[in-house]
Structure 1
Amino acid sequence: MYYRKSFNELQQHLTEKQATVITGMRRVGKSTTVKHLLTLVPHTNKLYLDFERIENRVLFNQDSYNDIERGLSALGLQLDQPAVLALDEIQLVPNSTSVIKSLYDTYGIKFIVTGSSSFYLKNHFSESLSGRKQIFEMFPLDFEEFLAFKGEDVATLKKERLKSFLPTFYDRWKGYYEEFLEFGGFPEVVLAGSEASKTNYLKDVLNAYIELDIKLLSDFTVSDTLYKLIQLLAARVGSRIDYSKIASIIGINRNKIKDYMHLLEYTYFIQVVKPFTNGIDKELTKQPKFYFADTGLLQVLSKVSSGAVFENAVANQLGKIGSVNYFERSSGTEIDFILNREKAIEVKETCTPQDLSTLTDRAKILQINDVALIGRHPNYGGFKDFIWGGAVY
């Protein structure tokens, strides 16, 4: 079993009565995690049902709850005793939440369920299972998890977390970090042996996302249009979202573009970074920026610049540390990221003393004293006052 940071928290929740709900994009490891959790259940009264199998969907789509209970009993689940029922990909059975609620309230069943979208789980579950569940989000691997999947000891990585550039540390991990930037953090991709296999896995993830999740979770039926939009966004990653311009290029309504963008965000495909302001009203009048959830997916879609790929990776890495915003004035003065509203961060492939001086001056505008450069490559002039990208997690 490969290490995921979420395992400890999920294991602790295994003893809680509340349903354990795991959501995230396809192929991030939700099913593997559920099966791992089942091995930790100390008794044998447990059952795993994958809703990608038609017979399991038929079982939960029956009109009678009594027939569903009979079916579970026929599969070996003893409802009159403490039980664990794991349901995988519940978004495939729209009425699954009502069945879970009935079984939850009637029997001593601990539910572990997965779904591929917060769009479905956060909204639908909030109404039907209020107070009966806790939602855990899973994402592609971060760099620490990536190294663990490669069989590396991450103890030294942890010691250098967010510390200034150290050549020895960089030399040890730079090859892995470049692979991480190139192919991203989907577990199957990380474990694939060849570059061709990695690319094929990423194309499969993209195809399944558009053809299965999007069509299932929305009324968007024109997958070709969505694919064109995603390709267009990939070429503009890290930019502010101009809905009108994108709409004119693709040839569809501006409001429809907004709907698509919201769906891409709610299904974990993109991360939206809002501008840093001192008031919510100002924030809502400015355009957000966006980044892709995985740099491997980004590069399958478009041959973007190496700087854009690196900035995208750092956006994802920072997003797992805290809240992320960006700052930009109409004059063009900008700061790449503001972390937790208190740390100004600039991302450069190669950092220089001038970059640090500029960042410090710009941060003063916001009365922020804590600043950091994040770099990808060494500065061979000897400048070391920056954090290497591989140490950000």
Structure 2
Amino acid sequence: MFERKIFHRLKEHLSKKQVTVITGMRRVGKSTALKYLLNETPHQNKLYLDFERIENRVLFNQNSYSDIERGLAALGLNLNQPAILALDEIQLVPNSTSVIKSLYDTYQIKCIATGSSSFYLKNHFSESLAGRKQIFEMTTLDFEEFLSFKGIDTQRIRAEQNRTFLYTYYDLWKGYYEEYLQFGGFPEVVLSELNADKKEYLKDIFNAYIELDIKLLSDFSVSDTLYKLILLLANRVGSRVDYSKIASLIGINRNKVKDYINLLEYTYFIQTVAPFTGGIDKELTKQPKLYFSDTGLLQECGQISSGALFENAIANQLSRQGTINYFEKSAGSEIDFILDRSVAFEVKETANQFDLNTLTERAKALNIQDCRLIGRYLPENGFKDFTWGGNIF
């Protein structure tokens, strides 16, 4: 089993009474994380239930908590002793949160749960398990994890994180980074050896998202519209979201477009990036930019320019380090990303001194001193004062 970075935080939470909730997009490795935690449990009074199996859904859909407890006992869980109950894909059983609450309040039981939809999990868990849970959001592999899944010892690589360009490092890992950009970070895609298999996995992940996650939260007509919207959005990554224009192209009203984009974000398919302004109220009145959660999925959904693909990857890499915004003035002056309101980033496939000077000048107007240029390719004229994308992780 490959160990993800999040496993350390999950293991630390294993000893706490709170429910451990692992959420994220389908096929990012949540079930693997759940089984890892079960293996880390020293005692044998534990039970794993996959809610994709109908008999487990039937058990939790019973009206009587007593009957559910009897069913768990019949499956080998002793509720009179400290126990661990692992529940996979809980979004498939809407009643699961109330059952977990009852078990939590009545017995010495530690519940671990996974689910694919933050829209469902955050709303239902906030209502019924307030103070009783902690949610851990799991993403696709970052670049360091990608290399680890390729069997590479990343200790030396970690030392170069966020540092300025070094040709030796770039030369060693540029081929891997280009593969990472092309196919993304879903574990089973990364572990596939053939490009054709990678593409088939990505198609399967996309179809499962539409057919399972979206239909669970909506209806058939919505999933058809969302499919069209996703294809349209794929060609607009890195651009401001013009809700009215998108609405006219799809043939639905502007508010519906907003609702559907929110749904895509709640289910981890995309992320939106708000503008950087002087106050939160102003941020909410301006158009966000959007990026897909995985560059492999992005390429599956549209014909993407090389520059847009790279910018999308950097958006995902930086968002793992904190909160990102973008800055843009009406006159056209812009900064691609501002991390935690204190570090300005500009993304260029081939970085040069002019780009760095421009970024520094624009950031100075916002009282931001820390400026970093991010590049993808070998620079021209020996320029080195930038960070290669593979150093961001």
Cα root mean square deviation, aligned: 0.8
Spell out the pairing of 1:278-297 with structure 2 (5 A cutoff): 278-297=278-297
* Distance (whole Å) between structure 1 residues aligned to residue 156 and residue 193 of structure 2: 25
SS at match of 1:163: coil
Aligned to 1:174: 174
Distance 1:240 1:103 in 2: 46
**Normalised by the size of structure 2, how large is the TM-score?**
0.99
**Which residue of structure 1 aligns with residue 222 of structure 2?**
222
- Change beyond 3 A, Cα 1:96–1:309: same
Contact in 1 for aligned 2:350/2:380 (Cα 8 Å):
no
Hey, what's the Cα distance between the residues in 2 that align with 1:339 and 1:115?
28
Partner of 2:20: 20
CA deviation vs aligned residue, 1:346-384 (integer Å, no higher than 9, x gap): 000000111111111111111111101000011131000
Structure 2 equivalent of residue 338 of structure 1: 338
Cα distance in structure 2, aligned partners of 1:331 and 1:318: 26
For structure 1, which segment, 23-32 or 276-285, has the greater mean C-alpha deviation from structure 2 after superposition? 276-285
Q: Does 1:262 align with 2:262?
A: yes
The one-letter code matched in structure 2 to 1:333 is S
Q: Matched residues in 2 for 1:225 and 1:13: separation?
A: 40
State the SS of the aligned residue for 1:377. coil
For residues 213-235 of structure 1, the C-alpha deviation after alignment (integer angstroms, 9 at most, x for no partner) is 01112356332211110000001
SS at 2:221's partner residue?
coil
In the alignment, the residues of structure 2 paired with residue 53 and residue 279 of structure 1 have an alpha-carbon distance, to the nearest angstrom, of: 48
Structure 1 residue runs of 5 or longer lacking an equivalent are none
Partner of 2:93: 93
Q: Which residue of 1 aligns with 2:319?
A: 319
Write the deviation string for residues 300-348 of structure 1: whole angstroms up to 9, x where unpaired: 1111101100000000000001110000000010010111111111000
Partner Cα distance (2:159, 2:70) in 1:
54
Q: Does 1:149 align with 2:119?
A: no
1:71-121 CA-to-partner distances (Å, cap 9, x unmatched) read 101100011111000000000000100011111111111000000011111
Q: Tell me the amino acid that sits aligned with residue 139 of structure 1.
A: T
Q: For the residues of structure 1 that align with 2:213 and 2:38, how far apart are their CA atoms?
A: 26
**1: CA distance, partners of 2:65 / 2:323:** 43
Question: Percent of pairs identical after alignment?
Answer: 73
Q: Which amino acid aligns with 1:189?
A: V
Q: Within 2, Cα distance between the matches of 1:287 and 1:185?
A: 28
Q: Which secondary structure state, in structure 2, belongs to the residue aligned with residue 276 of structure 1?
A: coil
For 1:91, the aligned partner's letter is Q
Counterpart amino acid of residue 270 in structure 2: I
Q: How does 1:342-361 map to 2 (within 5 A)?
A: 342-361=342-361
Distance 1:104 1:392 in 2: 40
SS at match of 1:4: coil
Q: Is the 8 A contact 1:215 1:221 kept in 2?
A: no
Q: Which amino acid aligns with 2:206?
A: L
- Residues 108-149 of structure 1 deviation map (CA, whole Å, 9 limit, x = unaligned): 110000000111111110110111111000000000100110
Q: Give the structure 2 partner of residue 106 of structure 1.
A: 106
User: Corresponding residue for 2:183?
Assistant: 183
Structure 1 Cα separation of the partners of residues 130 and 215 of structure 2: 26
Which residue identity does 2:91 align to in structure 1? Answer: Q
- Output the TM-score relative to the length of structure 1: 0.99
CA contact (8 A) 1:273 1:290 kept: yes
Kept in 1: contact 2:352–2:380 (CA 8 A) = no
Aligned residues: 393
CA distance in 2, matches of 1:226, 1:65: 38
Distance 2:133 2:281 in 1: 33
SS in 2 for 1:350: coil
3-state DSSP class of the match of 1:326?
strand
> Deviations for 1:9-29, whole angstroms, at most 9, x for unmatched residues?
100110101110000000000
CA contact (8 A) 1:269 1:292 kept: yes
